[in-house]
Amino acid sequence: MNTTDTSRRTGLLTLLVTSLGSFMVLLDGSIIFVALHEIQKDLGGALSQLQWTVDAYTLPFAALMLTAGTLGDRLGRKKVFLAGLVLFVLGSALCGFAPSVGLLIAGRVVQGLGAGAISTGSLSLLVSTFTDPAGRAKAIGIWTAVSGVSIALGPLLGGILIESFNWQAIFLLNVPIGIIALLLGVPRLIDSKNPSARGIDLPGQVLAAGGLFCLVLGLIEAGRKGWGSPEILALLGGAVVLLGGFLAVELRSKEPLLPLELFRNRTFATACLIASLLGFVIVGVMFFMAQYFQAVQQHDALSTGLRLLPLTLGIFFLSPPASRIAAKKGPRIPIMVGALVATAGFFLLSTIEPTSSFGSVWWKLALVGVGIGCMFAPLTLAVMASTPPQRAGLGSSMINTTRITGFTAGAAVLGTIVASQTDGPGAGGPGALVDAFHTVFYICSGATILAFVVAAATMVRGRLPGPGQAPGAAAAAPGANQAAR
């Protein structure tokens, strides 16, 4: 009885600490948008510099996530997670006390480095702590609900903090949260690592980080400089060369950073693809609906955050039950249902007008939130269940890398489309902006339809494998569906 109680307390504390870390990381990705105007008034700086306060966070976050996950598997997931918390707290303090835009950008880089370690470490710690399938599914459902809500809460919480205090408060808020997570995590988190790990694949680490850096930077800059500019072509070409070199190295490595045989598992490969599509549509609904409420309907940051609550609540309330269903029946059904519901929501959002009342908009936003909530946790469970337990850090880094790459691609591609439809003589005005948003929502609905088709056609039916089973092992159990590879 005592052992059970201790295990339960350890599990709850692990869930609390990892959720706090994930909350800070994802909150800081969206909260910055409502603060840019105040930062420019206070610190000055050109628009390009202000944009780098966003990109300086995203770039190291995405580029180093695979590295952080693999280091966790080799050195210890607790160590990497706690190191990420320390970096994130230090970066947040530097941002909060920055006297210039340059130092603010430097602080965002430090935050981004910490965010990559926190994001991969938190999920791999959950998987290694919760070995029971039902408990693991519930924990991941709560973790993903907190993650989804933190993204959508950014504009609301940012508006409250800026209105009540100043823009520095959005960064300084992380300091006490991070310290609490450290005080709880240092003595109580259980460390784990891959006992069979032999060494670090240094060539793979360098090529993967360099390739992801070029890819994400190219996507970020494409919206400003044009997809055909020499710099963008060089960055995207460099990404192809470096990532191609990475694949070649991994095929020959005895201890690869990313074992490519994982992609032979259809559930793993499909979930990674759909996670990138999910990241793409999340930025589509969050960023452009925030612009709709602010730039078109002229609401302030706080009012805009409140109007995004139907989206937030849909994600929050659907993630835990979707996770439980995925654990019992497999991830395929909730992912397909979520994709259909989100598609309906995006089609309905394409009918909004500049003067639409909130009463005619909120339920359409809620549909998208419900759809995303149905997909978020099952995708995470699918990847983690398809990854050997000793490579939990790798599985965590893969789901997060694909999601944030999709998020970055969505911002670049959809932002370019909106700019192309609203720039030029006679193209401005609320009507033109809303027409551009309609195009965005049509594209997002196409992405969710693609997610449905891919899940229906390629994702394996049946329950997830149990703890310690190799991918597909659950299918070999009595009564399970036959796993396809």
How do residues 387-441 score in pLDDT, each as one tens digit?
Answer: 877 777 777 778 888 888 888 788 778 887 887 787 654 456 788 889 999 999 9
Q: Say whether both 337 and 213 belong to one domain.
A: no
Q: Which of 171-180, 414-423, 447-456 is predicted least confidently?
A: 414-423
Answer whether residue 467 shows pLDDT above 50. no
Distance of alpha carbon 124 from alpha carbon 42, whole angstroms: 40
The whole-number pLDDT of residue 149 equals 74
> What's the pLDDT tens digit per position in 66-116?
788 878 888 888 999 999 999 999 999 999 999 998 899 999 999 999 998
**Residue 385 CB partners (closer than 8 Å, separation 6+):** 267, 464, 465, 471, 474
Q: Say whether both 216 and 161 belong to one domain.
A: no
Q: Say whether both 293 and 421 belong to one domain.
A: yes
The whole-number pLDDT of residue 425 equals 45
CA pseudo-torsion sign 125, 198, 209, 448: negative
Structure pTM?
A: 0.80
Q: Does 114 map to a domain?
A: yes
Query: Mean of the per-residue pLDDT values for the chain?
Result: 84
**Residue 356 CB partners (closer than 8 Å, separation 6+):** none
Q: Which residue reads 């280091």 in tokens?
A: 71
Beta strands in 156-283 (DSSP E): none
Q: Say whether both 11 and 76 belong to one domain.
A: yes
Token reading at 112:
């981004």
> What's the pLDDT tens digit per position in 258-267?
778 888 888 8
Answer whether residue 453 shows pLDDT above 50. yes
The whole-number pLDDT of residue 109 equals 92
pLDDT band with cut points at 50, 70 and 90 for residue 358: very high
Q: Say whether both 295 and 209 belong to one domain.
A: no
Q: Say whether both 139 and 160 belong to one domain.
A: yes
Q: Say whether both 121 and 219 belong to one domain.
A: no
Q: Does 67 map to a domain?
A: yes
Q: Does 481 map to a domain?
A: no
pLDDT band with cut points at 50, 70 and 90 for residue 376: confident
- Long-range pairs, 451-455, Cβ under 8 A, ≥24: 451/274, 451/277, 451/278, 451/335, 451/339, 451/375, 452/336, 452/339, 452/340, 452/343, 454/270, 454/273, 454/274, 455/270, 455/274, 455/332, 455/335, 455/336, 455/339
Token reading at 115:
């965010």
Q: Does 476 map to a domain?
A: no
Q: Does 225 map to a domain?
A: yes
Distance of alpha carbon 183 from alpha carbon 455, whole angstroms: 41
Q: Say whether both 263 and 248 belong to one domain.
A: no
The whole-number pLDDT of residue 350 equals 95
Answer whether residue 170 shows pLDDT above 90. yes
Mean pLDDT in residue range 179-198:
85
The whole-number pLDDT of residue 473 equals 45
Q: Say whether both 77 and 158 belong to one domain.
A: yes
Mean pLDDT in residue range 349-359:
94
Q: Say whether both 245 and 359 belong to one domain.
A: no
Mean pLDDT in residue range 19-25:
92
**Residue 289 CB partners (closer than 8 Å, separation 6+):** 308, 311, 349, 365, 437
Percent of the chain with pLDDT over 70: 91
Percent of the chain with pLDDT over 90: 35
Q: Which residue reads 């710690």 in tokens?
A: 125
Q: Amino acid identity of 472?
A: G
**Structural domains in the chain (count):** 2
Burial bucket for residue 42 (CB in 10 Å: 0-12, 13-18, 19+): middle
Higher pLDDT pick, 188 / 411:
188
CA pseudo-torsion sign 463, 266, 269, 280: negative
Burial bucket for residue 157 (CB in 10 Å: 0-12, 13-18, 19+): buried
Q: State whether residue 135 is helix, strand or coil.
A: helix
Q: Does 163 map to a domain?
A: yes
Answer whether residue 181 shows pLDDT above 80. yes
The whole-number pLDDT of residue 6 equals 63
- What is each CA distance from 227 to 236, 272, 383, 433, in whole angstroms? 10, 25, 32, 21
With b for 16 or more beta-carbon neighbours within 10 A and e for fewer, the 123-137 pattern comes to bbbbbbbbeebebbb
The whole-number pLDDT of residue 472 equals 44
Q: Say whether both 420 and 322 belong to one domain.
A: yes
Answer whether residue 381 shows pLDDT above 60. yes
Residue 212's domain comprises: 201-254
pLDDT band with cut points at 50, 70 and 90 for residue 480: very low
The CATH number of the domain holding residue 392 is 1.20.1250.20
Q: Does 482 map to a domain?
A: no
Q: Does 475 map to a domain?
A: no
Q: Say whether both 225 and 352 belong to one domain.
A: no
The whole-number pLDDT of residue 46 equals 64
